[in-house]
Amino acid sequence: MAPHARDAARTSPVDSLVTRHRLRPLELLPWVLVIPPYWLFDTYLPLGSEILIMVLFALSLDLILGYAGIVTLGHAAFFGLGAYTAGILAANGWGEPISGLAAAAAVAGATGYVTGRIILRAHGLTLLMMTLVIVLALNEAANRMGWLTGGADGLSGIEMWPLLGLFRFDLYGRTGYVYAAAVLFVAWIFVRRIVHSPFGRSLTGIRENVTRMHAIGVPVRTRQVTIYAIAAVLAGIAGGLLAQTTQSVALTVMTFERSGAILIMLVLGGVGRLYGAFVGVPAYMIAQDNLARLDPVYWYFWVGLMLVVVVLFARGGILGIVDRARDLVVRRRP
Amino acid sequence: MDQALAIAVSILFLGTAYAMILYIISVGLSVTMGLMGFQNLAHGVFAMAGGYVCTRTMAEFGVPFLPSLVLAFVVVAAISVAFERLLYARLYGAGELEQVLFTIGLAFMAIAAAKFMFGPISQRVDLPDYLKGQIEFMGRGFPTYRVFLIVVGVAIIAALWLAIERTTFGAQVRAAVDNRRMAESLGINTGRLFTLTFALGSGLAGLGGALGADILPVDPGYPLRHLVYFLIVVAVGGLGSLRGPFVAALLLGIGDSACTILVPQIGAFFVYAVTLGLLLWRPQGLFGRM
Amino acid sequence: MRLFRIATLALTAIVSATAADAQTVRVGFVTSLSGPSASIGDLMDKAVRLYIEQNAASIAPVRVEIIRRDDTGPNPEVARRLTQELITRERVQLLTGYIYTPNAMAVAPLINEARIPTIIMNAGTSAIVRQSQMFARVSFTMWQSAYPLGQWTARQQGVRRSYTLVADYAPGHDSEQAFIRGFTEGGGQNVAAVRMPMNTVDFAPFLQRVRDERPDALFIFVPAGVVARGIMKAYADLGLAQAGIRLVGQGDITPDEELPNMTDVPEGIITMHHYSADADRPANRAFVEAWRRAYGANSTPSFYSVGAWDAMAAIFHVIREQRGQIDPARTMELLRGWENPNSPRGMVRIDRETRDVVQNEYLRRLERVDGRLVNREIETIPMVSDPWVRFNPAPPR
């Protein structure tokens, strides 16, 4: 994509390939920013953990949308499956958080693998419709299986055990915040490795030119299904985290609207950049938290306008604007 | 046996009436998507606009029902030309993701605008007396308005078929769908063709929204609430064809009625299962080109 | 000396400031102000504003400060986060609102831990109030209207067979069971219980099936709004009334605010509900009049507004009784057995044991008065408590 191309222009091509995966100091910025709110804004921690969770969810979407180029309106299916798995376990007497997350990851990942194998041979509108229909069907299933999920009344009675047997999930959401931040950190390292691995590079290749990747012998379908399943695992973990930290799950975890919302947040930040999720999600959620308070009824208008403006004038999202601004400054230098 | 026949007649009748609304709204989407390869998730906005034009002109200016339907078609077609020239045209070369996001954005703005202008509550439709009540036929009662829907639907389909298969304009559209570059090199102004087709398709959506306003009530949530059904009709039918969405709409309408009347326990899963199954069997839709 | 005077002045200022603070009761109000259910939140918010405007003087010098939060719909994680923030950041002393059951369920652990009395304005699943000792409810439950309606329907001349048609989600399942229980206990027989998917667009096939089955009575429950309008339209279209099938339901199928848009719906539909704007009680006439003066002649309050209104009445009661010094235990004690004979819906009470609402249910008949449809009350079933509690005794703790 564009940013890499620019990097390459400044240094020699080989340099850029060799150093690409090295950690740049700027990449640690989100992690520095995560720490102070714990003390400074301690009454905002529930919002903070929700943002961290949505960042993880957006990061998983970035893997398939930004790197593999698969446009989906059904990613919330995996988020919801994860949330229901973790929630149902905790509501039925198994409130251990970490194994709950593992179960959420397993269920979402398995579903992602199976559905990925089935639907990824299609593309365009057909693929879009299949992802959409899957999330709608799962939502309806959760609605009808009231005995298991609580249906439209929501899943109640989730009781979490202390994290690691030590830290209780408290009223201020301290444990939840640290827990979400830690999980996101681990996921970020994992995603970063994938993106910079040969496997990740081949995904970008598939996005940019499928025919050529076929021609050089890359098993395109297998790669796509793999990344789809990995993204499903991460989305499932995000969903599980939401269920555990808020101790509630409702049908809205698994809707077309949630798929759309996460897509919007990611696009706002910038797609295919790894950090779009870290920028777009907080920007969107903080804006919603404030704007919706000022003018709740017409919040949708502003979201819509923002989408239109981003698509027409700022295709790289916020990070794209930052890139362009930096380029302007850099080029002006003698 | 009589009972079974009666049930079959009900299923066919109710399913067909519903399918007509779906078809009239969706056919424009199919043609524009096939012609321009444009993922338009804001199509429901045009249907909603048609519904508002029809109901508001009746309520505020006392326009009778039939002329208000014509108005819905004309006004929405005119508005859509502005949309196409000013906004959509900028995105014809863009990726799928951009088009999806852009049109979702438009739909959001339209929803908020509709709420601002007309309030959150659905619009009232005052049908003329001759469309109310029931028509007796072979000892059974049929709701008059649904009979009217089927008649109008058939007329529109016939007119569309004539327009596409028997006129120069239609031949140009077919040529452009088949091979756009070839059509252009033969001197067809595809840009103008797109605009005209887009206007026609959106106008039909407006007409469909107005015709259906009594069954699918018009309120600000309309564009997203019904989007899935419109998209299913288009995807299952296949892009760029007139026949595809028609068959898909009938399948969906009649299948849904049959499922409701015969095995209501299956509920919403019928539509999803059929859609998924058909798309797996024919990824390009029933009548789509490979 | 001068220094001393300044210090005294400063001290007095501080003391009076804290005194003034203590005179302000902070109330968190969680409802939906954006998204598809924004209109519900609006109807509630208007009632809250109107109540405060009319009654602020009655608690003077204590003031009440409402802190609104938007939960955007049935999103328990959002409702929970907002409630958490209201408790920890805004330091609210009372909570109210909650349109949706999952949202109310999700805050139960929070209000248990923080001991914040919470008055539910709307959410109507019976089991909610059992989730926390800090809950009290002034709205309604599904069983409260559907069960007596089933009993009443079974008593009608020539009604032996009923048919139920409900939206396929938890509240629909509740009202289906409640109606059938009431109807069969009254000696009737329910021939079919059909559930309609939430995304149903065309209701005609469902009603066609009913028509072919020819029951004596048809019970329908769907959420108020466009869905209700769609199904009423199909009922009229298919001529079920002419076929002699009587339609009964809860208030949601003929909501006051949708009536002007329901054009050719036949008269005579019977609904059971705790409120209609057309009710001819002095308290209700005054309420509707004040509402229209404040929000325009075309604006009509609904049962959502009355839920919010009575929640405010209960809140003002506990503030008045404690002179603004809110103590959680004392507040719950004051809420248990609280009653308001002058509610727009008539007498309303919070049950001493269950903390749930006890109220009149009104049997209404849809009629055309001066060319417009109204729900006219024809019979009152006095002070109904939630029948579900009788059938599902709380498990011993």
A183-216 per-position pLDDT tens digit:
999 999 999 999 888 888 888 888 888 888 888 8
Q: Does residue C8 fall inside a structural domain?
A: yes
Nearest residue to B285 via CA among B34, B101, B36: B34
How far, in Å, CA of A175 to CA of C177, rounded?
Answer: 41
The answer to whether B267 contacts chain C (CB < 8 Å) is yes
Residue ranges making up the domain that contains B178 = 2-281
Same domain? For C231 and C311 the reply is: no
Same domain? For C98 and C34 the reply is: yes
Residue ranges making up the domain that contains C288 = 2-140+283-355
CB contact under 8 A, C105 and A50: no
Pseudo-torsion of CA C303, C307, C310, C311, nearest 10°? Answer: -170
Helices A97-119 and A220-246 cross at an angle (nearest 10°) of 150
Q: Which residues of C touch B134 (CB under 8 A)?
A: 237-239
What average pLDDT does the segment A118-133 reach? 88
Nearest to B228 among A132, A263, A306 (CB): A132
Same domain? For C302 and C206 the reply is: no
Residues 150-169 of C with CB under 8 A from A: 168-169
Across A19-23, A49-53, A246-250, A265-269, least confident range: A19-23
Same domain? For C105 and C8 the reply is: yes
Nearest to B279 among A65, A130, A256 (CB): A130
pLDDT number for residue A22: 72
Residues 6+ apart with CB under 8 A from C79: C30, C71, C98, C100, C102, C103, C104, C106, C107
**Contact, B239 vs B12, CB < 8 A?**
no
Q: Which residues of A touch B235 (CB under 8 A)?
A: 125-126, 128-129
Q: What angle do CA C283, C288, C294 make, to 5 degrees?
A: 125
Q: Which residues of C touch B124 (CB under 8 A)?
A: 260-261, 263
Residues 57-116 of B with CB under 8 A from C: 115
What average pLDDT does the segment C349-376 reach? 90
**pLDDT for residue C22 is more than 70:** no
pLDDT number for residue C396: 58
How far, in Å, CA of C372 to CA of A315, rounded?
Answer: 53
Choose the mutation target among A256, A300, A306 for the interface with B, i.e. most B CBs under 10 Å. Answer: A300
CB contact under 8 A, A307 and B104: yes
A216-258 per-position pLDDT tens digit:
888 888 888 999 999 999 999 999 999 999 888 988 899 888 9
Give φ, ψ of B242 to 5 degrees.
-90, -35
Percent of chain C having pLDDT more than 90?
A: 51
Across A300-309, C31-40, C190-199, C290-299, least confident range: C31-40
B15-39 per-position pLDDT tens digit:
999 999 999 999 888 887 877 778 8
pLDDT number for residue C30: 94
CB contact under 8 A, C208 and B229: no
Nearest to A156 among C68, C105, C169 (CB): C105
What CATH number has the domain bearing residue C222?
3.40.50.2300
Distance from CA of B195 to the nearest CA of C (A): 31
Assign C290 a pLDDT band (cuts: 50, 70, 90): very high
Residues 6+ apart with CB under 8 A from B120: B219, B220, C38, C39, C42
Same domain? For C176 and C116 the reply is: no
Nearest to A50 among C68, C81, C87 (CB): C81
B53-91 per-position pLDDT tens digit:
999 999 888 889 999 999 999 999 999 999 888 888 888
Choose the mutation target among C198, C237, C262, C373 for the interface with B, i.e. most B CBs under 10 Å. Answer: C237
Provide DSSP, A66-81: IIS----S-THHHHHH
How far, in Å, CA of C177 to CA of C166, rounded?
Answer: 10
State ipTM: 0.86
Nearest residue to C232 via CA among C199, C267, C195, C197: C267
* Residue C232, CA distances (Å) to A247, B75, B211, C216, C249 in order: 39, 30, 18, 18, 11
Nearest residue to C342 via CA among C279, C275, C284: C284
Across A280-294, C121-135, C244-258, least confident range: A280-294
Nearest to B215 among C209, C225, C233 (CB): C233
pLDDT number for residue A153: 82
Q: Does residue B160 fall inside a structural domain?
A: yes
The answer to whether A300 contacts chain B (CB < 8 Å) is yes
pLDDT number for residue C64: 92
Give φ, ψ of C301 to 5 degrees.
-70, 155
Same domain? For C90 and C161 the reply is: no
**Contact, C366 vs C253, CB < 8 A?**
no
How far, in Å, CA of B35 to CA of B239, rounded?
Answer: 8
Per DSSP, what are the bridge partners of residue B135? Answer: B142
* Residue C248, CA distances (Å) to B4, C235, C303 in order: 28, 12, 18
Phi-psi region at B238: left, alpha or beta (left = phi > 0; alpha = psi -120 to 50): left
- Domain spans in chain A, listed from the N-terminal domain onward: 2-332
How far, in Å, CA of A134 to CA of A259, rounded?
Answer: 12
Helices B269-281 and B243-262 cross at an angle (nearest 10°) of 140
Same domain? For C90 and C44 the reply is: yes
CB contact under 8 A, C201 and B7: no
Q: Which residues of A touch B232 (CB under 8 A)?
A: 129, 133
How far, in Å, CA of C103 to CA of A65, rounded?
Answer: 32
Same domain? For C237 and C365 the reply is: yes
The answer to whether A130 contacts chain B (CB < 8 Å) is yes
What 3-state DSSP class applies to C26? strand
What 3-state DSSP class applies to B136? strand
How far, in Å, CA of C118 to CA of C105, rounded?
Answer: 12
* Residue A1, CA distances (Å) to A66, A194, A318 in order: 10, 17, 16
Q: Which residue of B has its CA nearest to A69?
A: B97
Same domain? For C287 and C380 the reply is: no
Which chains touch A (3+ CB pairs under 8 A)? Answer: B, C
Assign C5 a pLDDT band (cuts: 50, 70, 90): low
Nearest to B105 among A73, A129, A307 (CB): A307
How far, in Å, CA of C99 to CA of C102, rounded?
Answer: 9
Assign A292 a pLDDT band (cuts: 50, 70, 90): low
Q: Output the tens digit of pLDDT for each of chain B's 290 residues.
A: 577 888 888 889 989 999 999 999 998 888 878 777 788 889 999 999 999 999 999 988 888 999 999 999 999 999 999 988 888 888 887 888 888 889 999 998 998 899 888 877 788 888 888 888 788 777 777 888 889 999 999 999 999 889 888 888 888 888 887 787 888 888 888 888 888 888 999 999 999 999 988 888 888 888 888 888 899 999 898 887 788 899 999 998 898 888 888 888 787 888 888 888 888 888 888 887 64
Q: Does residue B19 fall inside a structural domain?
A: yes
Q: Does residue B287 fall inside a structural domain?
A: no
**Contact, A68 vs A227, CB < 8 A?**
yes
Residue with tokens 């919040």: A299
pLDDT number for residue A17: 63
Q: Does residue C334 fall inside a structural domain?
A: yes
Choose the mutation target among A114, A210, A311, A313 for the interface with B, i.e. most B CBs under 10 Å. Answer: A311
State the average pLDDT for chain B: 87
* Residue B73, CA distances (Å) to B52, B202, C231 in order: 11, 8, 27
Q: Model-level pTM? A: 0.86
Same domain? For C158 and C257 the reply is: yes
What CATH number has the domain bearing residue B160?
1.10.3470
Distance of CA B233 to the CA centre of its chain: 9
Same domain? For C52 and C74 the reply is: yes
Given the DSSP bridges, would you call strands C270-273 and C339-343 parallel, antiparallel or unpaired? unpaired
pLDDT number for residue A20: 67
Which amino acid does the sequence have at C185?
Answer: E
**Contact, A315 vs B98, CB < 8 A?**
yes
Number of domains in chain C: 2
A27-48 per-position pLDDT tens digit:
777 777 777 777 777 778 888 8
Same domain? For C349 and C262 the reply is: no
Mark out the alpha helices in chain B (DSSP H runs): 2-36, 43-61, 65-86, 96-118, 144-166, 168-178, 180-185, 190-212, 222-225, 227-237, 243-262, 269-281
CB contact under 8 A, A43 and C85: yes
Residues 12-71 of A with CB under 8 A from B: 65, 71
How far, in Å, CA of A190 to CA of A105, rounded?
Answer: 14
Number of domains in chain B: 1
Q: Does residue C396 fall inside a structural domain?
A: no
What average pLDDT does the segment C258-267 reach? 79
